[in-house]
Amino acid sequence: MSNNLKSESRKLNFFYGNVHALKNVSMPIELNKVTALIGPSGCGKTTYLRCFNRMHDLYPHNRYEGEIILYPDNINIISSGIDPIEVRMRISMVFQKPNPFPKSIYENVAYGLRVRGVNNRKILAEKVEKSLRGAALWDEIKDRLDKPAFDLSGGQQQRLCIARALATDPEILLFDEPTSALDPIATSKIEELIIELKKKVTILIVTHNMQQAARISDWTGFMMLGELIEFDRTDKIFTAPSEKLTEDYITGRFG
Amino acid sequence: MEDIKKRIRITKFLDYIFAIVGLLSTLVGLVLLFTLFIDLFIDGAPRLSYKFMASFPSRFPEEAGILSAWVGTFLVMLVTAFAAIPLGIAAGIYLEEYAKKNWLTNIIEINISNLAGVPSIVYGLLALGLFVYFFKFGESILTGGLTLALLILPMVIIATREAIRAIPNSIREASYALGATKWQTVQWHIIPYSTGGILTGIIIGLSRAIGETAPIITVGALTFIAFLPSSPITSEFPFMSFKWLSDPFTVMPIQMFNWVSRPQAGFHVNAAAAGIILLLMTLLMNGFAIYIRYKFRKRIKW
């Protein structure tokens, strides 16, 4: 898989002030595949994910060490010479709790484009439709694009957030436990969507739900206490893990 | 079993006692205020008329009116609003969204809360030194308006910050995650979502400023004015004038104070009538604040 990488972290360390939250995490992210991160609460998987769009830069006393290389440009996206805004324009994120803006459905999806200075109505309308179709939401809401996003159900709101992230054609899409606030039906819709999306975009997903990782991912990383314990093909991790810790975790002996 | 029943009886009795104490405390405040309103109304109502609103002060209580006072109050409030609103909102946004959280911003934060509690006469002294003697604005509407703006600035800043803090962090993260800059986030999210709270704070600040007397007297407002400031709107190009800013003035509470301190009973009636008008102005502003809060809350829910 080495020549088909979209990104890769090399000896990534991360600090919240004095707290050493990520320890030497080196992990590849394959192009147009789903890579899942599992592990007990507080293991650093969300911290790891949020390094990829420099979300940690929003808060004081946070510090990165090491590299996250983005291919094909071969740039280290956490180096201080790279503008976090540029990184966020190329790598989008979907959050744990659906967080649409208190604006219309249309404006939610168009927001990323407006940020980039797109004001042409025709282009906006096309992109909004394309993204909503991409997020499997178009047919449900095409007649009420001007209605407030908060009128949608939780699952629809999360798909709206996915559409919002898709509108700007990101290279990588980050998912931070995207279904933890949703019911099983909404969850399965999002899972189908993620499998569909990987044809076009590389996906990195953090999940609390091991079955979810097994269902949708191609690669899985198991993290504990800020370290990457094991990284392998998903079927291998879930059938024949090489580490004792991984086995204990996925068989439910702790976590 | 008997023990438990007894225990329940005792605690229920305490419950009952507190309900009565609470009700009485509430009533004391309400009844006193209500009596005050009624008393003011009975005293002043006979003098309320168009003539009262449209006349200048006079030596004869029956002919005296509050024209120069309410026009003065209106113009001073205009200056106050124009000065305090942009400064207060900008400072509030800066402190919440831009400033790094460290000891310096902590000190600033504590001091702003303290400034909101500084007695208004102290602002009057400050303004006398700064606006009248140093900047030489004179004993004018501009000075009066800026003085009251200083007074309510901390309130506007605090209201702005409270309103901004009510916006969930997930909204900011959603905006930044799409590549927005700070200003784009402030412009498209922070300001629109906090407008309701900010406007409410501004109006409450202004309705406090409208009743202030001490700082306005300190900077030299007059108590007897039988003319109006120059008109802001003119018949010749450019159709407006700012000469009124430098005109002497009086305001409603000063006019009231002036009348109350005279011996003739007729003037006391005038003071009560002016009090009714001032109260109505304040109630109107507060009512508007409640309406705005209601309207914006309905539009935005998290």
Where is average pLDDT lowest: A71-80, A117-126, B229-238? B229-238
**Is A61 an interface residue toward B (CB < 8 Å)?**
no
Q: Residue A221 belongs to what H/E stretch?
A: strand A219-224
Residues of A in contact with B298 (CB under 8 A): none
Phi/psi region, residue A211 (left: phi>0; alpha: psi -120 to 50; beta: rest), is alpha
| End-to-end Cα separation, chain A, in angstroms | 30
Buried b or exposed e, range A240-255, using 16+ CB within 10 angstroms? ebeeebbbebbeeeeb
Q: How confident is the model at residue A76 (pLDDT cuts 50, 70, 90)?
A: very high
Task: Over range A239-249, report the average pLDDT.
Answer: 92
Q: How confident is the model at residue A3 (pLDDT cuts 50, 70, 90)?
A: low
Distance CA A86, CA A200 (A): 20
Q: How confident is the model at residue B204 (pLDDT cuts 50, 70, 90)?
A: confident
- What is the predicted pLDDT for the residue at A1? 54
pLDDT averaged over every residue in chain A: 92
- What is the predicted pLDDT for the residue at B301? 67
pLDDT score of B248 more than 90: no
With a CB cutoff of 8 Å and minimum separation 6, the contacts of B185 are: B97, B172, B175, B176
Distance CA B259, CA B278 (A): 14
Where is average pLDDT lowest: B44-48, B185-189, B268-272? B44-48
What pLDDT digit, counting tens, does each position of B142-180 carry? 999 999 999 999 999 999 999 999 999 999 999 999 999
Residue in chain A closest to B178 (alpha carbons) equals A112
Q: How far is B286 from chain A (nearest CA, A)?
A: 27
% of chain B with per-residue pLDDT over 90:
47
**Is A114 an interface residue toward B (CB < 8 Å)?**
yes
**Is A47 an interface residue toward B (CB < 8 Å)?**
no
Q: How confident is the model at residue A8 (pLDDT cuts 50, 70, 90)?
A: very high
What pLDDT digit, counting tens, does each position of A104-115 carry? 999 999 999 999
Distance CA B131, CA B139 (A): 9
Residues of B in contact with A93 (CB under 8 A): 177
Residues of A in contact with B104 (CB under 8 A): none
Residues of A in contact with B194 (CB under 8 A): none
Residues of B in contact with A116 (CB under 8 A): 179
How many degrees, rounded to 5, is the angle at CA A5 between CA A88 and CA A97?
40
Q: In A, residues 94-113, which contact B (CB 8 Å cutoff)?
A: 95, 97, 99-102, 111-112
What pLDDT digit, counting tens, does each position of A200-225 carry? 999 999 998 899 999 999 999 999 99
Contact between chains at B178 and A97 (C-beta distance less than 8 A): no
Residues of B in contact with A59 (CB under 8 A): none
**Is B101 an interface residue toward A (CB < 8 Å)?**
yes
Phi, psi torsion values for A54, nearest 5 degrees: 55, 35
**Is A89 an interface residue toward B (CB < 8 Å)?**
yes
Distance CA B181, CA A101 (A): 16
Q: In B, residues 184-203, which contact A (CB 8 Å cutoff)?
A: 184, 188-189, 193
Residues of A in contact with B174 (CB under 8 A): 95, 99-101, 161, 164
- Per DSSP, B246 falls in state G
User: Which position has the token pair 């007649």?
Assistant: A143
**pLDDT, greater one: B62 or B180:** B180
- Per DSSP, A22 falls in state E
pLDDT score of B295 more than 60: yes
Q: Of B134, B149, B15, B131, which Cα lies nearest the Cα of B79?
A: B149
Contact between chains at B181 and A85 (C-beta distance less than 8 A): yes
Instruction: Please state the separation of Cα A12 from the chain's center in Å.
Output: 18
Contact between chains at A112 and B179 (C-beta distance less than 8 A): yes
Task: Over range B54-68, report the average pLDDT.
Answer: 86
Nearest Cβ partner for A92 among B100, B171, B177:
B177
Q: How confident is the model at residue B222 (pLDDT cuts 50, 70, 90)?
A: confident
Q: Of A175, A199, A203, which Cα lies nearest the Cα of A187?
A: A175
- What is the predicted pLDDT for the residue at A152? 93
Residue in chain A closest to B189 (alpha carbons) equals A101
Q: How far is A137 from chain B (nearest CA, A)?
A: 19
Give this prediction's pTM.
0.84
Task: Over range A72-96, report the average pLDDT.
Answer: 93
Q: How many pairs of residues across A and B have Cβ atoms under 8 Å apart? A: 63
Task: State whether residue B245 is helix, strand or coil.
Answer: helix
The verdict on whether omega for the bond into residue A72 sits within 30 degrees of 0, i.e. cis, is yes
Phi, psi torsion values for B135, nearest 5 degrees: -80, -10
What is the residue-wise DSSP string for A47-70? HHHHHTTTGGGGSTTEEEEEEEEE
pLDDT score of A167 more than 80: yes
- What is the predicted pLDDT for the residue at B150? 93
Token representation of residue A28: 């590849």
Contact between chains at A101 and B184 (C-beta distance less than 8 A): no
Go through chain A and tell me how many residues it has: 255
Task: Over range A140-165, report the average pLDDT.
Answer: 93
**Is B129 an interface residue toward A (CB < 8 Å)?**
no
Task: Over range B188-202, report the average pLDDT.
Answer: 91
